[in-house]
Structure 1
Amino acid sequence: MTPQTSEKIPHRRSTTSSGLVPPWYRQAGPLVVAALVTAYAALWFAVRPPDVGLRTFLGQLAGAEAVLLLSTGLVLVSTLPWVERWFDGIDRAAIWHRRVAITGMLLLAPHAALAGNPSPSTVGPALAGVATGGLVALVVWSVLPRWRSVLPPVLHPVTDRATRLPGVVLLQKILGGYERWRGFHRLTGLFVAAGFLHGLLDATTFGSQTLRWSYVAVAGLGLAFYVYRELLARRFMALHDYQVSAVTSVGAGLVEIALRPLGRRLDFVPGQFAMVFLEAKDGWHRHPFTIASAPGEGVVRFTVKALGDWTGAVGDLVEPGMPAVIGGPHGRFTHRKGTAHQVWVAGGVGVTPFLSWLRSLGEHPVHGEVDFFYTSAEKPVPYAEEIEALAAAHPGVRVHVVRSDVDGRLTAATVLSRVRAQPRDLSVFLCGPEGLVESMTDGLRAGGVPVGRFHREYFDWR
């Protein structure tokens, strides 16, 4: 059966995820982006047309850099394997997609304030309005579900009351949930194309053929990737047919879904995630989930937390026997990157990749010692008994379950006081709420853990 979403299920094809890459290569993507932005600005200054004033030149340069960054964002969401390698996982590529898109949007402000053309084209200004309006709407719509992370806590009571106003409630219904936003997000390339055409028609700097054709090349490359993603990518996606075998509640707001293969099984390594197309009572849904099972199990297991409009009701909407399709796998969150002394920190549903690691220790052992800190406010703590039993079979793994309602918040000081190694010898793996990850990273860095020894799974980009 085919999911009734905006993305149809393509032809099935199986691939094997690549392994580790050298540390320098994992930073290649961000370095290439920075070098490209710098080189593009240098090119503009090198061939600056003498008849264009500095104010206008700087404004149009800001617009061209915005198109460059937005085009780069289109490349980063193309899901091509080399993008994942260069950014050490498509989760990191998605984070950089967000960063370059926001930076590009910010550059539109100086562009609008400084750039000027006394004789604009007939359609150029209209195209600029379409591009700006569409991109701003995308940014605002993206931020709305995460407004608490954007505003200071002192404003939360006021905004809580505001969200209950009739007009705001109506707006929320109109906007809909994740699927509607994702459908609108697919128009990003069209808004970038409108902005590109506006620049091509109205930029006074494009009397320089070098600037004109470099601008065409930059935007054309990004738009080519956009066309690939929308029209061709689904034909090259690795997909596997599965069926729901069990839906189990493992805690308040936590549900484990087990899928059994109907054909070729998904080939993955512990710590990866997959794109899951899952039929529920209300139709098909698409969502990325971290894999919780070991590769050798007969089923693939995902632990789902009620974080969104659909995941909040998944326990009631999904039943055994329903069809599913798994795409991927993706991600490079692996303890193989670590040193001989490792610290694993999980908060809440962030335990999921570590469950896969622990369940796979027989086939994918850790070469060294591990202190695993797992904090949760749930009673009882989900998976705590299984985790402690798995660790007991591997003497090099020590588990520290922190019940936050009893033991208080897990802090970096607590972690450093319990490990048996010097901070300079540690490598740290983190997955959990942003607040926990940030406080742990800051505290452990201050405690002496080298900056390059931190690894995290960005499950919140989804």
Structure 2
Amino acid sequence: MASVMSALRPLAIPLLALAVPLGFAVWAFPEGLSGIRTAAIVAGWLGCGLLLVSLLLMLREPRLAAWLGGLERMYLWHHRTGVVAYMLLLAHPLLLAANAFADSPARAWETLAPAAESWPVWSGWLALVLLMLGLALTFMRRLPYRAWRWLHAALGAAVLIGLYHLILLGIDEPVAPILTVAALILGWRAVRGDWGLAARPYVVASAHRVAEGVVEIALRPLGDPLVVAPGQFILTAFFKGPDFRGCGEFHPFTVSAVEPDDVLRIGVKALGDCTRRIQSIGPGVAARVLGGFGSFLAEPHATRQFWFAGGIGVTPFLGLLRNGGLIAPTTLLYLYHTEDDAAFLPELRAIAAATPLLTLQAVATARGRPDLDRLLPDAPHLIGCECYLCGPPSLVARLKRILRQRGVTPRHIHFENFDLR
């Protein structure tokens, strides 16, 4: 049974993304209308259904994430369904205008620029504009996280206004129940995820610097501990404490160790305002923790393994090594800029010296673009190998491309970017 569920898990989100919008379209399929107007209405319902799926996929619930293949995969499909939903909803007024064009060009223009129309029509346009704004911000990677998060909330407002637009037009069923479900999902995410109601209370037990701009923090539970495995990641928010002014936003951090007394260790690299502030954290700071998430290293393979770590991406591999999780010959290629900012490098060298199954290749790139073609094993050494990649998204993308060129099939390439925007 477990193997069947594991095999079906990759299909869970695609099936959900098909079933919900198609169900809406079939239920509300119009009769007796022209082909173009029918297409306009169907496009609107399909977009509505995909938006509801997109909302569901942004929930931060460990059990839901496990059922759907992981939180990172959920966020990837959250973006995909949101983009397709926007395209369908944009097609909705364009098709209505095309239908009106058969009567007169003036009527078509009034459909696209309804200056004389009432609020019910304008509310639909407002929802579309907010949706476009929210999606545009998705691709603005350099926007500060706090600003991005609040502006991205325009997507939630767009969904609610768009559904209310249908009610204003007199379409109560099934719009009112759908609007209620959408509001519940948004409220659930805000209360349990953003405000941390689902998070468990922890406190910083210790913090020590492991490299330039990298600190390892030990978190001690103040109540029932989370069920977390080494190599998974948790969402953590730190609050005000002794000599620390707080950083209350939830950020993903990889678990570098799970100690016998349920203390969690995480590695934090200074990558933004919040993580730079965390570098000065000390014992006694209160924290809230959600998790654990991710299945990156959850299923050990008895075949040879190749691990690639870029920078702080070494943390999940360290978590597994500290747990004594090697069961097959493994090569770890660890890239970093200089030894000063190579997190956990002395410990990794000590583990490699004491672990016959582990071969460590630690390479300093001196802040240059690494020559991956030279550093990666050649094709014969990758045959039958399970490849695990963790690092910056652009670097992981290059690695996947080279590995595929060397004959590694996608099902043998496992990766995690921890990119939750």
- Match of 2:313? 350
- Match of 1:289? 253
The 1:250/1:92 distance shift into structure 2, 3 A limit, reads same
The 1:134/1:234 distance shift into structure 2, 3 A limit, reads closer
State which of 14, 19, 28 in structure 2 corresponds to 1:31: 14
Q: How does 1:323-334 map to 2 (within 5 A)?
A: 323-334=286-297
Q: How does 1:160-309 map to 2 (within 5 A)?
A: 177-186=144-153, 188-202=155-169, 213=173, 220-231=180-191, 239-280=199-240, 281-286=244-249, 287-296=251-260, 299-309=263-273
Please tell me the residue identity of whatever aligns with 2:418: F
Aligned partner of residue 207 in structure 2, secondary structure: strand
- Match of 1:461? 420
8 Å CA contact 1:344–1:429 kept in 2: the answer is yes
Summarize deviations over 1:372-408 as a string: whole Å, max 9, x none. Answer: 1111112333222211211222211211112123997
The 1:24/1:459 distance shift into structure 2, 3 A limit, reads same
Aligned mates of 2:380, 2:298 — CA distance in 1: 18
| 1:68 has 2:42 as partner | no
- Match of 1:165? none
Please tell me the residue identity of whatever aligns with 1:197: Y
Unaligned runs of 5+ in 1: 1-18, 147-171, 207-211
8 Å CA contact 2:123–2:161 kept in 1: the answer is yes
The 1:452/1:237 distance shift into structure 2, 3 A limit, reads farther
8 Å CA contact 1:71–1:219 kept in 2: the answer is no
Please tell me the residue identity of whatever aligns with 2:93: A
| 1:403 has 2:367 as partner | no
The 1:80/1:313 distance shift into structure 2, 3 A limit, reads closer
Summarize deviations over 1:331-367 as a string: whole Å, max 9, x none. Answer: 2221525451111111011111111111111xxx232
Summarize deviations over 1:217-236 as a string: whole Å, max 9, x none. Answer: 65554444234334567999
Summarize deviations over 1:274-314 as a string: whole Å, max 9, x none. Answer: 12121143344122211112343764222222222221332
Please tell me the residue identity of whatever aligns with 2:366: D
The 1:328/1:298 distance shift into structure 2, 3 A limit, reads closer
8 Å CA contact 2:239–2:287 kept in 1: the answer is yes
- Match of 1:123? 119
The 1:42/1:144 distance shift into structure 2, 3 A limit, reads closer
Aligned mates of 1:187, 1:78 — CA distance in 2: 16
Q: Report how far residue 440 of structure 1 moved.
A: 0.9
- Match of 2:386? 427
Aligned mates of 1:434, 1:394 — CA distance in 2: 30
Aligned mates of 2:4, 2:182 — CA distance in 1: 26
| 1:138 has 2:134 as partner | yes
8 Å CA contact 2:247–2:274 kept in 1: the answer is no
8 Å CA contact 2:312–2:343 kept in 1: the answer is no
State which of 256, 280, 283 in structure 2 corresponds to 1:320: 283
The 1:21/1:366 distance shift into structure 2, 3 A limit, reads farther
Runs (4+) off by over 6 Å: 117-121, 232-236
State which of 376, 392, 411 in structure 2 corresponds to 1:452: 411
8 Å CA contact 1:238–1:328 kept in 2: the answer is no
Aligned partner of residue 70 in structure 1, secondary structure: helix
8 Å CA contact 1:339–1:426 kept in 2: the answer is no
Aligned partner of residue 327 in structure 1, secondary structure: strand
The 1:237/1:368 distance shift into structure 2, 3 A limit, reads farther
Identity over the aligned pairs, expressed in percent? 28
- Match of 1:50? 32
Summarize deviations over 1:227-278 as a string: whole Å, max 9, x none. Answer: 4334567999654332223333333332222223344444311111112121
Aligned mates of 1:214, 1:429 — CA distance in 2: 45
Aligned partner of residue 307 in structure 2, secondary structure: strand
Please tell me the residue identity of whatever aligns with 2:337: A
| 1:113 has 2:116 as partner | no
Q: Report how far residue 431 of structure 1 moved.
A: 0.9
Aligned mates of 2:319, 2:118 — CA distance in 1: 58
Aligned partner of residue 258 in structure 2, secondary structure: coil
8 Å CA contact 2:404–2:410 kept in 1: the answer is yes
Aligned mates of 1:39, 1:326 — CA distance in 2: 37
8 Å CA contact 2:135–2:155 kept in 1: the answer is no
Q: Report how far residue 69 of structure 1 moved.
A: 1.2
8 Å CA contact 1:26–1:86 kept in 2: the answer is yes
Question: After alignment, is 331-340 or 33-42 more displaced?
Answer: 33-42
Aligned partner of residue 234 in structure 2, secondary structure: strand
8 Å CA contact 1:242–1:325 kept in 2: the answer is yes
Please tell me the residue identity of whatever aligns with 2:157: L
The 1:410/1:338 distance shift into structure 2, 3 A limit, reads farther
RMSD over aligned Cα, in angstroms? 3.3
Higher relative contact order (CA 8 A, sep 6+): 1
Q: Report how far residue 76 of structure 1 moved.
A: 1.2
TM-score by length of 1: 0.76
Aligned mates of 1:312, 1:129 — CA distance in 2: 41
Aligned mates of 1:232, 1:384 — CA distance in 2: 37
Aligned partner of residue 247 in structure 1, secondary structure: strand
Q: How does 1:83-122 map to 2 (within 5 A)?
A: 83-116=64-97, 122=118
Aligned mates of 2:302, 2:185 — CA distance in 1: 37
